[in-house]
A and B are shown apart, each in its own frame.
Chain A
Amino acid sequence: MIKRLQGLMLILFLVITLNGFSNALKINFNFLINKCFNSDTGKGSIKVPEGFSATIVADNVGKARHIVISPKGIVYVKSMRKINGKGIFVLKNVGANAKLTIIDTFCNYGGTGIVIKDGYLYASSDEEVFRYKLNAKDEVINPNAPEKIVTGLIEHHQHETKSIALDNVGNIYVNVGAYANSCQEHDRTKGSPGRKPCPILDSAGGIWMFKADKLNQTYGDGIRYATGLRNVVGLDWNQQTNSLFVMQHGRDQLFQNWPQYYSENDGAEFPAECMYELHKGSNCGWPYIYFNQQLNKKMLAPEYGGDGKTEGDASFQDPVIAFPGHLAPNGLLFYTGKQFPEKYKNGAFIAFHGSWNRAPLPQAGYFVVFVPFKDGKPTGKWEVFADGFSGKEVVNSTRSADHRPCGLAQGPDGSLYVTDDSKGTVFKISYTGK
Protein backbone atom coordinates (compact mmCIF):
# COMPACT_ATOMS: atom_id res chain seq x y z
CA MET A 1 0.00 0.00 0.00
CA ILE A 2 2.82 2.36 0.87
CA LYS A 3 4.28 1.55 -2.52
CA ARG A 4 1.02 2.35 -4.24
CA LEU A 5 0.83 5.59 -2.36
CA GLN A 6 4.35 6.44 -3.38
CA GLY A 7 3.45 5.62 -6.98
CA LEU A 8 0.48 7.91 -6.80
CA MET A 9 2.57 10.67 -5.32
CA LEU A 10 5.11 10.16 -8.06
CA ILE A 11 2.44 10.51 -10.76
CA LEU A 12 1.09 13.61 -9.05
CA PHE A 13 4.56 15.05 -8.87
CA LEU A 14 5.21 14.25 -12.52
CA VAL A 15 1.95 15.83 -13.64
CA ILE A 16 2.69 19.01 -11.74
CA THR A 17 6.27 19.32 -12.89
CA LEU A 18 5.51 18.43 -16.50
CA ASN A 19 2.75 21.00 -16.54
CA GLY A 20 5.03 23.64 -15.18
CA PHE A 21 7.76 22.52 -17.51
CA SER A 22 5.57 22.75 -20.59
CA ASN A 23 4.48 26.22 -19.53
CA ALA A 24 8.07 27.24 -19.20
CA LEU A 25 8.76 25.63 -22.56
CA LYS A 26 5.88 27.51 -24.16
CA ILE A 27 7.30 30.80 -22.97
CA ASN A 28 10.74 29.92 -24.21
CA PHE A 29 9.29 28.75 -27.47
CA ASN A 30 7.43 32.03 -27.98
CA PHE A 31 10.54 33.87 -27.04
CA LEU A 32 12.44 31.86 -29.62
CA ILE A 33 9.83 32.57 -32.28
CA ASN A 34 10.06 36.24 -31.47
CA LYS A 35 13.81 36.14 -31.62
CA CYS A 36 13.98 34.29 -34.90
CA PHE A 37 11.12 35.74 -36.87
CA ASN A 38 10.15 39.08 -35.42
CA SER A 39 13.59 40.55 -35.28
CA ASP A 40 14.25 43.74 -37.14
CA THR A 41 15.63 42.72 -40.50
CA GLY A 42 17.54 45.95 -40.64
CA LYS A 43 16.23 49.30 -41.75
CA GLY A 44 16.34 49.81 -45.47
CA SER A 45 16.99 46.16 -46.24
CA ILE A 46 14.28 46.07 -48.86
CA LYS A 47 14.20 42.95 -50.99
CA VAL A 48 14.05 43.74 -54.70
CA PRO A 49 14.53 41.57 -57.81
CA GLU A 50 17.99 40.70 -59.15
CA GLY A 51 19.62 43.73 -60.72
CA PHE A 52 17.69 46.29 -58.66
CA SER A 53 18.81 48.14 -55.56
CA ALA A 54 16.75 49.91 -52.92
CA THR A 55 18.00 52.64 -50.61
CA ILE A 56 16.50 55.05 -48.11
CA VAL A 57 16.93 58.56 -49.51
CA ALA A 58 15.02 60.53 -46.87
CA ASP A 59 13.58 60.11 -43.37
CA ASN A 60 11.11 62.00 -41.18
CA VAL A 61 9.22 63.49 -44.09
CA GLY A 62 6.04 63.99 -42.06
CA LYS A 63 3.28 61.44 -42.62
CA ALA A 64 4.39 60.99 -46.22
CA ARG A 65 1.42 60.04 -48.37
CA HIS A 66 1.60 60.64 -52.12
CA ILE A 67 4.73 61.91 -53.84
CA VAL A 68 5.55 63.49 -57.19
CA ILE A 69 8.86 64.37 -58.82
CA SER A 70 9.16 67.20 -61.29
CA PRO A 71 11.03 66.84 -64.59
CA LYS A 72 13.90 68.81 -63.03
CA GLY A 73 14.06 66.47 -60.05
CA ILE A 74 12.29 68.46 -57.34
CA VAL A 75 10.42 66.08 -55.04
CA TYR A 76 7.08 67.13 -53.52
CA VAL A 77 5.60 65.00 -50.74
CA LYS A 78 2.10 65.45 -49.27
CA SER A 79 1.86 64.81 -45.55
CA MET A 80 -1.36 63.47 -44.08
CA ARG A 81 -0.94 65.75 -41.06
CA LYS A 82 0.66 69.18 -40.88
CA ILE A 83 4.11 69.12 -39.31
CA ASN A 84 4.96 72.44 -37.67
CA GLY A 85 2.02 73.88 -39.55
CA LYS A 86 3.10 72.69 -43.01
CA GLY A 87 1.63 69.93 -45.18
CA ILE A 88 3.92 69.73 -48.22
CA PHE A 89 7.61 68.86 -48.07
CA VAL A 90 9.99 69.92 -50.85
CA LEU A 91 13.08 67.77 -51.25
CA LYS A 92 16.04 67.84 -53.56
CA ASN A 93 19.22 65.94 -54.15
CA VAL A 94 21.89 68.50 -53.28
CA GLY A 95 24.86 66.31 -52.38
CA ALA A 96 27.07 63.75 -54.03
CA ASN A 97 25.07 60.70 -52.97
CA ALA A 98 21.46 59.85 -53.82
CA LYS A 99 20.05 61.26 -50.55
CA LEU A 100 17.33 63.88 -50.61
CA THR A 101 17.41 66.99 -48.43
CA ILE A 102 14.28 68.79 -47.23
CA ILE A 103 14.80 72.26 -48.72
CA ASP A 104 11.40 73.74 -47.92
CA THR A 105 7.93 73.13 -46.46
CA PHE A 106 4.69 74.97 -47.19
CA CYS A 107 0.88 74.49 -47.39
CA ASN A 108 -1.46 74.89 -44.41
CA TYR A 109 -3.43 71.62 -44.71
CA GLY A 110 -2.76 67.91 -44.36
CA GLY A 111 -3.88 65.51 -47.06
CA THR A 112 -2.94 62.75 -49.47
CA GLY A 113 -3.03 63.74 -53.16
CA ILE A 114 -0.20 65.46 -55.05
CA VAL A 115 0.33 65.55 -58.82
CA ILE A 116 2.23 67.71 -61.34
CA LYS A 117 0.57 68.48 -64.65
CA ASP A 118 1.25 71.15 -67.31
CA GLY A 119 3.24 73.53 -65.12
CA TYR A 120 1.06 73.23 -62.00
CA LEU A 121 1.40 71.32 -58.75
CA TYR A 122 -2.02 69.99 -57.62
CA ALA A 123 -2.54 68.97 -53.99
CA SER A 124 -5.55 67.90 -51.92
CA SER A 125 -6.74 68.26 -48.37
CA ASP A 126 -9.51 65.91 -47.19
CA GLU A 127 -12.16 68.34 -48.57
CA GLU A 128 -10.54 70.47 -51.23
CA VAL A 129 -8.12 70.52 -54.16
CA PHE A 130 -5.64 73.33 -54.79
CA ARG A 131 -3.05 74.11 -57.42
CA TYR A 132 0.21 76.03 -57.38
CA LYS A 133 1.95 77.49 -60.45
CA LEU A 134 5.49 76.24 -61.02
CA ASN A 135 8.30 78.34 -62.51
CA ALA A 136 10.81 77.22 -65.12
CA LYS A 137 12.84 75.51 -62.39
CA ASP A 138 9.75 73.57 -61.24
CA GLU A 139 9.55 75.63 -58.03
CA VAL A 140 6.25 76.76 -56.55
CA ILE A 141 5.95 80.49 -57.29
CA ASN A 142 3.46 81.50 -54.64
CA PRO A 143 3.25 78.86 -51.91
CA ASN A 144 0.85 80.88 -49.75
CA ALA A 145 -1.72 81.68 -52.42
CA PRO A 146 -2.79 78.54 -54.29
CA GLU A 147 -5.84 78.52 -56.55
CA LYS A 148 -8.71 76.58 -55.00
CA ILE A 149 -9.97 74.25 -57.72
CA VAL A 150 -12.47 72.07 -55.84
CA THR A 151 -14.17 72.68 -52.51
CA GLY A 152 -16.87 71.23 -50.23
CA LEU A 153 -16.20 67.54 -50.80
CA ILE A 154 -17.66 65.19 -48.22
CA GLU A 155 -15.36 64.47 -45.32
CA HIS A 156 -17.05 62.27 -42.74
CA HIS A 157 -13.75 61.03 -41.35
CA GLN A 158 -14.04 57.48 -42.60
CA HIS A 159 -12.22 57.03 -45.96
CA GLU A 160 -11.71 60.75 -45.88
CA THR A 161 -8.60 61.17 -48.02
CA LYS A 162 -8.88 62.63 -51.52
CA SER A 163 -6.46 61.29 -54.11
CA ILE A 164 -6.14 63.00 -57.47
CA ALA A 165 -5.15 62.25 -61.07
CA LEU A 166 -5.29 64.31 -64.28
CA ASP A 167 -5.93 63.35 -67.89
CA ASN A 168 -4.41 65.04 -70.95
CA VAL A 169 -7.38 67.21 -71.85
CA GLY A 170 -7.73 69.41 -68.77
CA ASN A 171 -9.74 67.28 -66.33
CA ILE A 172 -8.93 66.35 -62.76
CA TYR A 173 -10.32 63.19 -61.11
CA VAL A 174 -10.91 63.12 -57.36
CA ASN A 175 -11.93 60.11 -55.28
CA VAL A 176 -14.55 60.69 -52.62
CA GLY A 177 -14.49 57.64 -50.34
CA ALA A 178 -17.68 56.21 -48.85
CA TYR A 179 -18.03 57.08 -45.17
CA ALA A 180 -19.11 53.54 -44.28
CA ASN A 181 -18.01 49.96 -44.56
CA SER A 182 -20.97 48.54 -46.43
CA CYS A 183 -23.73 51.17 -46.27
CA GLN A 184 -25.47 49.41 -43.36
CA GLU A 185 -28.25 51.00 -41.33
CA HIS A 186 -25.72 50.94 -38.50
CA ASP A 187 -22.14 51.04 -39.75
CA ARG A 188 -20.01 47.99 -38.92
CA THR A 189 -22.71 46.54 -36.68
CA LYS A 190 -23.27 42.79 -36.54
CA GLY A 191 -26.26 41.81 -38.66
CA SER A 192 -27.26 45.37 -39.61
CA PRO A 193 -28.85 45.35 -43.11
CA GLY A 194 -27.73 47.49 -46.06
CA ARG A 195 -29.63 50.62 -47.07
CA LYS A 196 -31.20 50.32 -50.49
CA PRO A 197 -30.56 52.35 -52.52
CA CYS A 198 -27.41 53.35 -50.69
CA PRO A 199 -27.76 57.12 -50.11
CA ILE A 200 -24.02 57.60 -49.68
CA LEU A 201 -23.47 57.10 -53.42
CA ASP A 202 -24.98 60.52 -54.26
CA SER A 203 -21.98 62.35 -52.87
CA ALA A 204 -19.33 59.72 -52.11
CA GLY A 205 -18.23 56.18 -52.98
CA GLY A 206 -16.96 57.17 -56.41
CA ILE A 207 -14.71 59.31 -58.58
CA TRP A 208 -15.72 62.87 -59.45
CA MET A 209 -14.39 64.73 -62.49
CA PHE A 210 -13.78 68.49 -62.48
CA LYS A 211 -12.04 71.00 -64.74
CA ALA A 212 -8.39 71.29 -63.80
CA ASP A 213 -8.28 75.08 -64.28
CA LYS A 214 -11.64 76.30 -62.95
CA LEU A 215 -11.89 77.81 -59.47
CA ASN A 216 -14.16 76.86 -56.57
CA GLN A 217 -15.96 73.94 -58.19
CA THR A 218 -18.08 71.64 -56.09
CA TYR A 219 -20.41 68.68 -56.69
CA GLY A 220 -22.79 70.46 -59.10
CA ASP A 221 -19.89 71.73 -61.22
CA GLY A 222 -18.33 68.34 -61.78
CA ILE A 223 -19.72 64.98 -62.76
CA ARG A 224 -19.80 61.71 -60.93
CA TYR A 225 -17.44 59.95 -63.33
CA ALA A 226 -17.63 56.51 -61.71
CA THR A 227 -19.58 55.07 -58.79
CA GLY A 228 -19.78 51.95 -56.63
CA LEU A 229 -16.22 52.36 -55.37
CA ARG A 230 -15.95 52.07 -51.61
CA ASN A 231 -12.66 53.89 -51.27
CA VAL A 232 -9.85 54.60 -53.68
CA VAL A 233 -6.45 55.82 -52.55
CA GLY A 234 -4.12 54.67 -55.36
CA LEU A 235 -5.05 55.84 -58.85
CA ASP A 236 -3.20 56.83 -62.04
CA TRP A 237 -3.91 57.98 -65.55
CA ASN A 238 -2.70 55.31 -67.95
CA GLN A 239 -1.05 57.13 -70.87
CA GLN A 240 -1.19 54.07 -73.09
CA THR A 241 -4.90 53.40 -72.77
CA ASN A 242 -5.68 57.06 -72.09
CA SER A 243 -7.94 56.02 -69.21
CA LEU A 244 -8.13 56.17 -65.43
CA PHE A 245 -7.13 53.13 -63.38
CA VAL A 246 -7.98 52.91 -59.69
CA MET A 247 -7.34 50.56 -56.79
CA GLN A 248 -10.34 49.97 -54.53
CA HIS A 249 -10.05 49.19 -50.83
CA GLY A 250 -12.54 46.35 -50.39
CA ARG A 251 -15.01 46.15 -47.53
CA ASP A 252 -14.12 44.87 -44.05
CA GLN A 253 -15.63 42.54 -41.46
CA LEU A 254 -17.36 39.79 -43.45
CA PHE A 255 -16.71 37.44 -40.54
CA GLN A 256 -17.15 39.88 -37.66
CA ASN A 257 -20.53 41.15 -38.88
CA TRP A 258 -21.81 37.97 -40.57
CA PRO A 259 -20.36 34.99 -38.69
CA GLN A 260 -23.30 32.82 -39.81
CA TYR A 261 -21.98 32.95 -43.41
CA TYR A 262 -18.23 33.47 -43.14
CA SER A 263 -15.40 31.81 -41.23
CA GLU A 264 -12.62 33.84 -39.69
CA ASN A 265 -10.40 32.83 -42.60
CA ASP A 266 -13.03 33.92 -45.14
CA GLY A 267 -13.11 37.29 -43.42
CA ALA A 268 -9.33 37.54 -43.63
CA GLU A 269 -9.03 36.54 -47.31
CA PHE A 270 -12.13 38.21 -48.75
CA PRO A 271 -13.09 40.32 -50.46
CA ALA A 272 -10.40 41.03 -53.05
CA GLU A 273 -8.66 44.36 -53.36
CA CYS A 274 -9.48 45.25 -56.98
CA MET A 275 -7.99 47.24 -59.82
CA TYR A 276 -10.55 48.80 -62.16
CA GLU A 277 -10.18 50.61 -65.47
CA LEU A 278 -12.79 53.34 -65.36
CA HIS A 279 -14.80 55.08 -68.04
CA LYS A 280 -17.51 57.66 -67.70
CA GLY A 281 -20.46 55.90 -66.05
CA SER A 282 -18.52 52.93 -64.63
CA ASN A 283 -20.26 51.25 -61.70
CA CYS A 284 -18.12 48.85 -59.70
CA GLY A 285 -20.93 47.67 -57.43
CA TRP A 286 -20.13 48.73 -53.87
CA PRO A 287 -21.95 48.21 -51.50
CA TYR A 288 -24.18 45.65 -53.25
CA ILE A 289 -21.46 43.25 -54.33
CA TYR A 290 -17.88 42.35 -53.53
CA PHE A 291 -15.33 40.40 -55.53
CA ASN A 292 -14.24 36.89 -54.53
CA GLN A 293 -10.77 36.44 -56.03
CA GLN A 294 -10.79 32.65 -55.62
CA LEU A 295 -14.10 32.04 -57.39
CA ASN A 296 -13.34 35.00 -59.68
CA LYS A 297 -16.92 36.14 -59.16
CA LYS A 298 -18.96 39.09 -57.97
CA MET A 299 -20.80 38.02 -54.83
CA LEU A 300 -23.94 39.47 -53.30
CA ALA A 301 -22.98 41.37 -50.14
CA PRO A 302 -24.45 39.87 -46.94
CA GLU A 303 -25.98 43.27 -46.10
CA TYR A 304 -28.10 42.85 -49.26
CA GLY A 305 -29.10 39.23 -48.81
CA GLY A 306 -25.85 37.46 -49.67
CA ASP A 307 -24.61 34.40 -47.81
CA GLY A 308 -21.09 33.95 -49.16
CA LYS A 309 -22.38 31.70 -51.97
CA THR A 310 -24.94 33.75 -53.87
CA GLU A 311 -23.62 35.73 -56.81
CA GLY A 312 -24.41 39.39 -57.22
CA ASP A 313 -25.72 41.47 -60.11
CA ALA A 314 -23.60 40.58 -63.15
CA SER A 315 -23.98 44.03 -64.71
CA PHE A 316 -21.49 45.63 -62.33
CA GLN A 317 -18.04 46.14 -63.77
CA ASP A 318 -15.40 43.43 -63.37
CA PRO A 319 -11.96 44.24 -62.02
CA VAL A 320 -8.94 44.16 -64.31
CA ILE A 321 -7.04 42.17 -61.70
CA ALA A 322 -7.72 41.20 -58.08
CA PHE A 323 -5.51 40.84 -55.00
CA PRO A 324 -5.91 39.16 -51.60
CA GLY A 325 -8.15 40.88 -49.06
CA HIS A 326 -7.37 43.94 -46.93
CA LEU A 327 -3.85 44.62 -48.24
CA ALA A 328 -4.81 48.30 -48.70
CA PRO A 329 -3.48 49.50 -52.07
CA ASN A 330 -2.53 53.16 -51.49
CA GLY A 331 -0.36 53.96 -54.50
CA LEU A 332 -0.66 53.13 -58.21
CA LEU A 333 1.86 54.07 -60.90
CA PHE A 334 2.14 53.04 -64.55
CA TYR A 335 5.82 52.88 -65.34
CA THR A 336 6.82 54.94 -68.38
CA GLY A 337 10.55 55.24 -67.66
CA LYS A 338 13.48 53.88 -69.63
CA GLN A 339 15.69 52.74 -66.75
CA PHE A 340 13.95 49.47 -65.83
CA PRO A 341 14.08 46.40 -68.12
CA GLU A 342 11.56 46.14 -70.96
CA LYS A 343 9.14 43.94 -68.98
CA TYR A 344 8.30 46.85 -66.67
CA LYS A 345 7.38 49.32 -69.42
CA ASN A 346 3.72 50.40 -69.13
CA GLY A 347 3.18 47.93 -66.31
CA ALA A 348 1.62 48.86 -62.97
CA PHE A 349 3.39 49.28 -59.65
CA ILE A 350 1.15 49.17 -56.61
CA ALA A 351 2.14 50.23 -53.09
CA PHE A 352 0.24 48.16 -50.54
CA HIS A 353 -0.02 49.92 -47.19
CA GLY A 354 -0.50 46.58 -45.41
CA SER A 355 -3.56 45.20 -43.69
CA TRP A 356 -5.09 45.63 -40.25
CA ASN A 357 -8.02 43.40 -40.92
CA ARG A 358 -6.69 39.87 -41.46
CA ALA A 359 -6.66 38.51 -37.89
CA PRO A 360 -6.50 35.69 -36.87
CA LEU A 361 -4.14 35.30 -39.86
CA PRO A 362 -1.03 37.48 -39.69
CA GLN A 363 -1.37 40.91 -41.28
CA ALA A 364 -0.09 41.14 -44.87
CA GLY A 365 0.89 43.54 -47.60
CA TYR A 366 3.51 46.15 -46.65
CA PHE A 367 5.06 45.64 -50.08
CA VAL A 368 5.21 47.00 -53.62
CA VAL A 369 3.72 44.79 -56.29
CA PHE A 370 4.26 44.76 -60.05
CA VAL A 371 1.64 43.80 -62.64
CA PRO A 372 2.98 43.34 -66.19
CA PHE A 373 0.76 44.98 -68.85
CA LYS A 374 0.52 44.69 -72.61
CA ASP A 375 -1.85 46.78 -74.71
CA GLY A 376 -3.49 48.12 -71.58
CA LYS A 377 -4.27 44.72 -70.05
CA PRO A 378 -2.43 42.68 -67.40
CA THR A 379 -0.53 39.88 -69.11
CA GLY A 380 -0.13 37.63 -66.15
CA LYS A 381 -0.05 37.24 -62.44
CA TRP A 382 1.01 39.99 -60.10
CA GLU A 383 4.39 39.63 -58.43
CA VAL A 384 5.93 41.11 -55.30
CA PHE A 385 8.48 43.66 -56.51
CA ALA A 386 9.79 45.18 -53.28
CA ASP A 387 9.28 43.59 -49.87
CA GLY A 388 10.51 43.88 -46.31
CA PHE A 389 9.10 47.35 -45.51
CA SER A 390 7.57 46.08 -42.27
CA GLY A 391 10.98 44.97 -41.01
CA LYS A 392 9.29 41.84 -39.60
CA GLU A 393 8.90 38.32 -40.92
CA VAL A 394 5.44 38.22 -39.38
CA VAL A 395 3.28 41.25 -38.64
CA ASN A 396 0.58 40.36 -36.12
CA SER A 397 -0.41 43.91 -35.24
CA THR A 398 -0.35 46.76 -37.75
CA ARG A 399 1.52 49.19 -35.55
CA SER A 400 4.51 46.86 -35.32
CA ALA A 401 5.32 47.37 -39.03
CA ASP A 402 8.33 49.67 -39.34
CA HIS A 403 7.29 51.16 -42.68
CA ARG A 404 4.01 51.19 -44.59
CA PRO A 405 4.29 51.83 -48.34
CA CYS A 406 1.88 54.52 -49.47
CA GLY A 407 2.87 56.70 -52.43
CA LEU A 408 4.78 56.00 -55.65
CA ALA A 409 6.60 58.31 -58.03
CA GLN A 410 8.88 57.96 -61.01
CA GLY A 411 12.03 60.08 -61.03
CA PRO A 412 13.29 61.82 -64.18
CA ASP A 413 15.95 59.09 -64.49
CA GLY A 414 13.32 56.34 -64.30
CA SER A 415 13.95 55.33 -60.69
CA LEU A 416 10.94 54.39 -58.58
CA TYR A 417 10.31 56.22 -55.30
CA VAL A 418 8.18 54.79 -52.48
CA THR A 419 6.92 56.77 -49.48
CA ASP A 420 6.06 55.44 -46.03
CA ASP A 421 3.49 57.35 -43.96
CA SER A 422 4.49 55.67 -40.73
CA LYS A 423 8.01 57.07 -40.29
CA GLY A 424 8.06 59.46 -43.23
CA THR A 425 10.72 57.47 -45.03
CA VAL A 426 11.35 57.78 -48.78
CA PHE A 427 12.84 54.77 -50.59
CA LYS A 428 14.45 54.88 -54.02
CA ILE A 429 14.56 51.76 -56.18
CA SER A 430 16.87 51.75 -59.20
CA TYR A 431 17.92 49.23 -61.78
CA THR A 432 21.65 48.72 -61.66
CA GLY A 433 22.03 45.39 -63.43
CA LYS A 434 22.62 44.73 -67.07
Chain B
Amino acid sequence: MKKNSLLVLVLLTVMVYALAQSQKPKQKTQDTPAASIERGRAIYQKECLSCHQADGGGVPHINPPLAGNTVLLNDKTKIIAVVLKGMTDRIPIDDEYYSNNMASHAYLTNQEIADVLTFARNSFGNKASVLTAAEVKVVRGVKKK
Protein backbone atom coordinates (compact mmCIF):
# COMPACT_ATOMS: atom_id res chain seq x y z
CA MET B 1 0.00 0.00 0.00
CA LYS B 2 2.63 2.49 1.07
CA LYS B 3 4.79 1.50 -1.84
CA ASN B 4 1.98 2.22 -4.27
CA SER B 5 1.16 5.67 -2.97
CA LEU B 6 4.85 6.46 -3.16
CA LEU B 7 4.81 5.38 -6.78
CA VAL B 8 1.81 7.59 -7.49
CA LEU B 9 3.54 10.47 -5.82
CA VAL B 10 6.68 9.97 -7.86
CA LEU B 11 4.65 9.65 -11.05
CA LEU B 12 2.66 12.78 -10.26
CA THR B 13 5.83 14.74 -9.51
CA VAL B 14 7.34 13.63 -12.78
CA MET B 15 4.20 14.63 -14.64
CA VAL B 16 3.92 18.03 -13.01
CA TYR B 17 7.61 18.65 -13.63
CA ALA B 18 7.32 17.64 -17.28
CA LEU B 19 4.28 19.86 -17.68
CA ALA B 20 6.02 22.81 -16.09
CA GLN B 21 9.02 22.26 -18.34
CA SER B 22 6.91 22.19 -21.47
CA GLN B 23 5.01 25.28 -20.36
CA LYS B 24 7.80 27.67 -19.46
CA PRO B 25 9.77 29.28 -22.28
CA LYS B 26 12.95 27.36 -22.99
CA GLN B 27 15.88 28.88 -21.18
CA LYS B 28 19.35 29.42 -22.57
CA THR B 29 20.63 26.81 -20.15
CA GLN B 30 19.05 24.03 -22.13
CA ASP B 31 18.64 25.53 -25.61
CA THR B 32 18.21 23.27 -28.59
CA PRO B 33 18.17 23.96 -32.34
CA ALA B 34 14.50 22.99 -32.39
CA ALA B 35 13.71 25.57 -29.70
CA SER B 36 15.59 28.28 -31.56
CA ILE B 37 13.73 27.43 -34.77
CA GLU B 38 10.38 27.57 -32.97
CA ARG B 39 11.12 31.02 -31.54
CA GLY B 40 12.45 32.07 -34.94
CA ARG B 41 9.19 31.04 -36.60
CA ALA B 42 7.22 33.50 -34.49
CA ILE B 43 9.72 36.29 -35.20
CA TYR B 44 9.63 35.49 -38.92
CA GLN B 45 5.84 35.74 -38.96
CA LYS B 46 5.93 39.13 -37.31
CA GLU B 47 8.98 40.73 -38.94
CA CYS B 48 9.77 39.05 -42.25
CA LEU B 49 6.78 37.16 -43.65
CA SER B 50 5.09 40.22 -45.16
CA CYS B 51 7.94 40.54 -47.66
CA HIS B 52 9.57 37.12 -47.90
CA GLN B 53 6.15 35.37 -47.78
CA ALA B 54 4.73 32.39 -45.89
CA ASP B 55 6.50 29.91 -48.15
CA GLY B 56 9.81 31.82 -48.13
CA GLY B 57 9.34 32.24 -51.89
CA GLY B 58 9.52 36.04 -51.84
CA VAL B 59 7.76 38.14 -54.49
CA PRO B 60 9.00 38.04 -58.08
CA HIS B 61 11.16 41.10 -58.86
CA ILE B 62 10.31 42.75 -55.52
CA ASN B 63 11.46 40.66 -52.53
CA PRO B 64 13.98 37.81 -52.91
CA PRO B 65 13.15 34.22 -51.97
CA LEU B 66 14.78 32.83 -48.85
CA ALA B 67 13.97 29.29 -49.99
CA GLY B 68 17.14 27.96 -51.58
CA ASN B 69 18.86 31.36 -51.20
CA THR B 70 22.61 30.76 -51.62
CA VAL B 71 23.70 33.67 -49.44
CA LEU B 72 21.31 32.74 -46.63
CA LEU B 73 22.69 29.22 -46.57
CA ASN B 74 26.37 30.09 -46.90
CA ASP B 75 27.27 33.52 -45.59
CA LYS B 76 26.34 33.96 -41.93
CA THR B 77 28.16 37.29 -41.53
CA LYS B 78 26.44 38.81 -44.54
CA ILE B 79 22.93 37.76 -43.52
CA ILE B 80 23.40 38.97 -39.95
CA ALA B 81 24.52 42.30 -41.37
CA VAL B 82 21.48 42.40 -43.70
CA VAL B 83 19.08 41.95 -40.79
CA LEU B 84 20.96 44.52 -38.69
CA LYS B 85 21.41 47.18 -41.35
CA GLY B 86 18.82 46.36 -44.00
CA MET B 87 19.72 45.95 -47.66
CA THR B 88 19.38 48.19 -50.71
CA ASP B 89 22.34 46.83 -52.67
CA ARG B 90 20.46 45.77 -55.80
CA ILE B 91 22.97 43.09 -56.54
CA PRO B 92 21.70 39.96 -58.24
CA ILE B 93 20.38 37.41 -55.76
CA ASP B 94 20.61 33.98 -57.37
CA ASP B 95 20.64 35.72 -60.77
CA GLU B 96 17.64 38.01 -60.32
CA TYR B 97 17.32 41.62 -59.17
CA TYR B 98 14.82 42.68 -56.50
CA SER B 99 13.47 46.20 -56.32
CA ASN B 100 12.29 46.62 -52.73
CA ASN B 101 14.22 48.06 -49.81
CA MET B 102 14.78 45.90 -46.76
CA ALA B 103 14.81 48.00 -43.59
CA SER B 104 17.13 47.65 -40.62
CA HIS B 105 15.91 45.27 -37.92
CA ALA B 106 18.58 46.28 -35.41
CA TYR B 107 15.89 46.62 -32.72
CA LEU B 108 15.74 42.82 -32.51
CA THR B 109 17.99 41.29 -29.84
CA ASN B 110 21.01 39.19 -30.78
CA GLN B 111 19.10 36.10 -29.71
CA GLU B 112 16.04 37.06 -31.79
CA ILE B 113 18.19 37.60 -34.89
CA ALA B 114 19.95 34.29 -34.29
CA ASP B 115 16.58 32.57 -33.91
CA VAL B 116 14.95 34.07 -36.99
CA LEU B 117 17.95 33.31 -39.19
CA THR B 118 18.24 29.80 -37.80
CA PHE B 119 14.54 29.38 -38.61
CA ALA B 120 15.01 30.68 -42.18
CA ARG B 121 18.08 28.48 -42.69
CA ASN B 122 16.04 25.44 -41.66
CA SER B 123 12.66 26.09 -43.29
CA PHE B 124 11.22 26.29 -46.82
CA GLY B 125 13.31 23.25 -47.76
CA ASN B 126 16.51 24.87 -46.44
CA LYS B 127 18.99 22.98 -44.28
CA ALA B 128 21.92 24.73 -42.63
CA SER B 129 23.65 25.08 -39.28
CA VAL B 130 22.33 26.92 -36.24
CA LEU B 131 23.29 30.57 -35.88
CA THR B 132 24.02 31.82 -32.37
CA ALA B 133 23.51 35.07 -30.47
CA ALA B 134 27.28 35.21 -29.97
CA GLU B 135 27.79 35.29 -33.75
CA VAL B 136 25.27 38.14 -34.05
CA LYS B 137 27.02 40.00 -31.26
CA VAL B 138 30.32 39.86 -33.13
CA VAL B 139 28.79 41.38 -36.29
CA ARG B 140 26.83 44.01 -34.34
CA GLY B 141 30.05 44.93 -32.57
CA VAL B 142 31.90 45.89 -35.75
CA LYS B 143 29.27 48.43 -36.74
CA LYS B 144 30.44 50.69 -39.52
CA LYS B 145 29.99 54.43 -39.24
Contacts and interface: CB of A to CB of B under 8 A. Distances in A.
A2 B4 CA distance: 7
A contacts with B: majority SS: loop
A399 B1 contact: no
B78 interface: no
Contacts of A360: 45
Interface string B1-15: 100110110010001
Interface string A387-398: 000000000111
A357 interface: yes
Nearest to B61: A80
B50 A357 contact: yes
A359 B59 contact: no
A195 interface: no
B34 interface: no
Contacts of B59: 356, 398-399
Interface in B65-120: 65, 86, 88, 90, 97, 99-104, 107
A188 interface: yes
Contacts of B53: 356, 359, 396-399
Contacts of A398: 53, 57-60
A256 interface: yes
B46 to A, nearest CB: 8
A190 interface: yes
Contacts of A190: 103, 107
B55 A359 contact: no
A33 B76 CA distance: 36
A189 B86 contact: yes
A8 B1 contact: no
A157 B60 contact: no
Contacts of A180: 101
A253 interface: yes
Contacts, number: 79
Nearest to B89: A157
Interface string B23-60: 00000000000000000000001010111011101111
Interface in A171-194: 180-181, 186-190, 192
Nearest to A257: B103
A355 B63 CA distance: 13
Given A12-B15, A396-B55, A398-B57, A4 B8 contact: yes
B62 interface: yes
B4 A1 contact: yes
A7 to B, nearest CB: 10
Interface string A143-157: 000000000000001
Contacts of A96: none
Nearest to B49: A359
Contacts of A4: 4, 8
Nearest to B2: A1
Contacts of A124: none
A400 B4 contact: no
A158 interface: yes
A256 B49 CA distance: 10
A179 to B, nearest CB: 8
A157 B86 contact: no
B104 A189 contact: yes
A349 B59 CA distance: 25
A5 interface: yes
Nearest to A2: B4
A65 B97 CA distance: 17
Interface-central residue, A4, A8, A188, A396, by most chain B CB under 10 Å: A188
22 contacts: A1-B8, A2-B4, A4-B4, A5-B4, A5-B7, A5-B11, A8-B11, A12-B15, A159-B99, A181-B101, A186-B103, A186-B104, A187-B88, A188-B103, A190-B103, A256-B47, A356-B59, A356-B62, A357-B50, A359-B54, A397-B57, A399-B65
Given A5-B7, A157-B88, A398-B59, 5 more contacts: A1-B8, A157-B97, A256-B50, A396-B53, A399-B57
The 3 closest A-B pairs by CB, nearest first: A399-B57, A397-B55, A1-B4
